[in-house]
Structure formats: C-alpha cells, structure tokens
Structure 1
Amino acid sequence: MPDAPDGPELPPHVYVPGVTRRHPEGWFDRIKASVTDEVAVTDLHHTAAWQAGRAYFDAGYYWECHEVLEAVWMRTPEGSQERDMTQALIQLANARLKITMQRPRAAWRLCNMVEGHLARCDATARILGLEVAEVRHWVVQTRKTLETT
C-alpha cells in the first residue's frame, strides 16, 4: 500500500460508491480505535484517526476520510468548535466525493453546510490544527471545481 506524503499509509484504492469496490470490513478499525475517552478533545488532532483523515483528504481518498473522521466527530461535544471543524472536514470530503460521483447539486449543498459549520467557529482560532481560513479556502477550491464541471 502506498504511503501518503509524510503521513499514514493509504488504503489500496479509493472507494467511490457504485464505481469501485468497498474496503474489507474492519479495514479502518485500528485507526478509529486511536480515539479514546482518554484523549482530550483539544488533542484529537494528534490521534491516528485525525492524522489519517487529513492524509486521506489531501490524497483524494474522500470516502475513507469520512470513515475515520467519524470516530473523531463522535468524541467531540455537541456545540463545540472541535465538532464543527470535524464536521466541516467530513462534509467537505463528502462534497468532493460527490463531485467524483458526478452529483454537483449534492456537492454544492454540502459546501453550504461546511460554511455553516465554519461560521460557528472562531475565525481567528486554530482548531484541531486547522485554521478556519484554510478550510474556507478549500471550500472555495471545491466550488471552483464545481463551476468547471
């Protein structure tokens, strides 16, 4: 399996529903297990799940990103900036997956949802290692891709 640039091992292929085969059951369990009750919410970005999710996102493994970041999201408190940032990244990965699946309306809707999550975050804060402005830039990039498809 290939390694992500400076990061965790990548799955053997990108999963696109209806196009490629799904990964074997349990493939991501070890990664998701890194999110435990002992990890402080503010430190979740140091877990293997967050690190893999970021690497998967950057490498275009959008379904896989969502799969591992869900464990992080489940650990975040309702109404917290950490929850909004995690949800923003999950939904942005989903938007990019929808572009791959040729579902632009769904991708637009998800980009709007990402903006909603980011609007609830302190625009000057670094949340789980990400700056809000950085994620907003990724939304802009995603929308530009939609405009050309």
Structure 2
Amino acid sequence: MPGRNPRPDEAIFAAAKAGIPADPAQLGESAAFRAGFTAFDAGYFWEAHELWEPVWMQAPPASRARRLLQGLIQLANAGLKLRMSRPDAARKALARADYAIGECFRSDSAAVLGLTHQDVASLRAAIYAL
C-alpha cells in the first residue's frame, strides 16, 4: 500500500514486463496482462496497475486496446483508493475508468484483448464489493 508499505522490488514484475509483445494483436496474451488480473482479483490493485501500465504503453495510440487498458488501470486505482479510505479519489478514478471503457466500447461491441464490455463490468462491480 503506497505510503504504508515499502515499494516492492521491481524484480517481482520484471519477468512479466519483459514479455510484452510488440504486436498489438498479442497484448492480451502477455504475461503482464494476465498477471494484472490475478493481482486485481486478489485485491493487489497497485500491483495490477504496475503490470497493466507497460501493456498500455505498448498499445497503439487512440486504439480500443489503449482505452480499455486505461479503464482497467483506473479501476485498479479506484480499488486502491478505497483500500486507502479515500472514497472521493476512488469516485474520480471510477469516473475516469467509466469514460475510458465507454470510449472503448462506444462504437464497437466486439471483444478487446479478449475482454467484452460485460467482463469489464464484472471487474467494476468487484470494486463496489470492497
């Protein structure tokens, strides 16, 4: 938890981050992308953000994948802010997540990086369960 615990050793994330493919079509298969969900599901929101950010950086600008990843990162940010007892900051992060995810699926309902809008909605619902 930022400000409460020491920052984890970057080596923990190194293997997953090193395997991010250059081909945007394969980003959803990367170890970092998948590990982000494992961290998120376990309530390790900061770690999920750390894993998803380099995948986001590899996604083409203005692509649906980049918008989806922005939304996922903001969902993780919202979960972290709730854990830190910062509900106003969590609401702002959720608004940013909703915007990015909405933009991702606004004109095309096809899955992005293997995720549908419903899959992402389930992740968002998990934040409210905190």
| TM-score w.r.t. length of structure 1 | 0.79
Q: Of 11, 15, 39, which aligns to 1:56?
A: 39
Secondary structure of the structure 1 residue equivalent to 2:11: coil
Gaps of 5+ in 1: 1-15
Shift in alpha-carbon separation, 1:23–1:43, aligned structure 2, 3 A = same
* Letter aligned with residue 46 of structure 1: E
- Looking at structure 2, the residues matched to 136 and 24 of structure 1 have their Cα atoms a distance apart, in angstroms, of 31
Cα offset for 1:141?
Answer: 4.2
Counterpart in the other structure of 1:28: 13
Give the gaps of 5 or more residues in structure 2. Answer: none
Is residue 53–residue 69 contact of structure 1 (8 Å, CA) maintained in 2?
yes
**Cα deviation 1:56-109 (Å, max 9, x = unaligned):** 111111111111111100001111000011111111001000000011101000
* Structure showing the higher helix proportion among its residues: 2
- Contact residue 52 and residue 69 of structure 2 kept, 8 A: yes
**CA RMSD across the alignment:** 1.6
Which of the pair has more CA radius of gyration?
1
Count of aligned positions: 128
Query: What percent identity do the matched residue pairs reach?
Result: 38
- 1:21 is paired with a residue whose SS is coil
Aligned counterpart, 1:75: 58
User: Structure 1: how far apart are the matches of 2:127 and 2:10?
Assistant: 30
CA contact (8 A) 1:111 1:143 kept: no
Q: Which amino acid aligns with 2:63?
A: S
Structure 2 length-normalised TM: 0.89
